Structure 1
Amino acid sequence: MSRRSGVLEFAVLGLLHDAPMHGYELRKRLNVLLGSFRAFSYGTLYPCLKSLVAQGFLVEDNPSTEYVPATALNGKRSKIVYRLSPEGKQRFEELLADSGPDAWEDEHFGVHFAFFGQTDRAVRMRVLEGRRSRLEERLERMRSSIARTRERFDDYTLELQRHGLESVEREVRWLNELIETERANRTGRAPAPPGGSAAPHTSDGRDHADGSPDPVRSPYDRPGRSS
């Protein structure tokens, strides 16, 4: 299974874990969840769905309904609704518990992070710390490359390299904040979130009644970035 198809399988199982959906709604949710896959097509999604059905991870409701892909001209949608089988739920739990090196890579980390609300805290910590380690290695390589090539490139190329370096540095700082929050929650402390506010709050600005932290966000969800 390719890395891209593995990410898609994880995302599909995770979304259907919340509720059954037909293909059109699932595709819309995927495009929101995985910004880097915004160009999803039915030609990409439906082979994945059929494969998951064949493996016994998904069940089709109304399977006798003929599927006609939606287009701007015919406006038709699939009437087939996909839901997780018990085996599919078990498969999602297995993927959710994976905290190995694949979970630290760019595409895999994004989808793992999207389901952190359903992930065990110990797994979250391993993924966050692994991601930070991976990016720190990347930073070291980028800094070495800039130092070696500074005299060979013009100012614009150097600015582009510095821009990439600063983007990785920002994500490392963001990961440091998340890791500190996870550690503080584990020890019972309530750290102030970035910005100096003393009380944790929900994404709509309201404090949690139980003092639990604001759901962590991906760097791709921040203002100015596509989601």
Structure 2
Amino acid sequence: MSKRSELLDFALLGLLHDGPAHGYELRRRLNEALGAFRALSYGTLYPALAGLLDRGLIAQSTAVGPTSGSSRTTGRNRIVYAITAAGKEAFDEAARRTDAAAYEDDGFGVRLAFFGRTESDVRLRILEGRRSRVEEQLETVRANATRNRERMDSWTSALQRHGEDSTEREVRWLTELIDAERRHPTDPGPQP
């Protein structure tokens, strides 16, 4: 299974942890909340759901659904997906993993979205791993800028500075999250 498929399975199980949902709702929530899946097609979603069904991690039922944007029922049946006990166990196991995929751009965002269901020590390891990865990226950006400064026009230089500024902001943000996690590991998370 590819890393992206594993990430999608984790995200689907995490969303279904909140309660049953039909495919349209799952796709909408993935597109809106989880940047890694902003362009997720139904051609990717439904095979992923079928795989989770085959493995017994989710179950499906049929319900009569409302028309889009209204509370009126259409008589049209909708398939509703719900997480099973095995799915909750699989989600919990995946949430405890702190491999390199948890620090990567797409993986980190999805993992962060479900930090409310992740143990404090795991959150801390993921945050520290992400910060380390971003600090490495910052050093690379700075080294490339120094090496290529004479050859850059003003637009390229501005873009490079923007990238450096954005990476520095992410390092500061991660440091704030790590400090907050160390001070209050039982808190539900940073304040909005």
TM-score bracket for this pair, using the shorter chain length: 0.7 to 0.9
1:32 and 1:157 map into 2 onto residues whose CA distance is 31
Equivalent position of 2:11 in the other structure: 11
- Percentage of matched positions with identical amino acids: 52
Equivalent position of 1:129 in the other structure: 128
Q: Which has the higher strand share?
A: 2
Equivalent position of 2:59 in the other structure: 59
Q: Is the 8 A contact 1:56 1:87 kept in 2?
A: yes
Shift in Å, 1:119: 0.8
Q: Which has the higher helix share?
A: 2
Shift in Å, 1:2: 2.0
Unaligned runs of 5+ in 1: 187-211, 223-227
Equivalent position of 1:25 in the other structure: 25
2:145 and 2:75 map into 1 onto residues whose CA distance is 52
Distance 1:102 1:149, change over 3 A: same
Distance 1:152 1:215, change over 3 A: same
Query: Greater relative contact order (Cα 8 A, min sep 6): structure 1 or 2?
Result: 2
2:13 and 2:109 map into 1 onto residues whose CA distance is 15
Q: So what's the TM-score if we normalise by structure 2?
A: 0.88
Shift in Å, 1:100: 1.8
Distance 1:76 1:52, change over 3 A: farther
Shift in Å, 1:62: 2.7
Equivalent position of 1:41 in the other structure: 41
Unaligned runs of 5+ in 2: 69-73
Equivalent position of 1:116 in the other structure: 115
**Secondary structure at the counterpart of residue 151 of structure 2:** coil
Q: Is the 8 A contact 1:23 1:81 kept in 2?
A: yes
Q: So what's the TM-score if we normalise by structure 1?
A: 0.75
Q: CA RMSD in A?
A: 2.3
Amino acid at match of 1:124: R
Equivalent position of 2:148 in the other structure: 149
Shift in Å, 1:4: 2.0
Shift in Å, 1:87: 1.4
Instruction: Kindly tell me the number of residue pairs found equivalent between the two proteins.
Output: 184
Per-residue deviation, residues 13-41 of structure 1 (Å, max 9, x unmatched): 00001101111111111112212422222
1:98 and 1:4 map into 2 onto residues whose CA distance is 15
1:94 and 1:80 map into 2 onto residues whose CA distance is 27
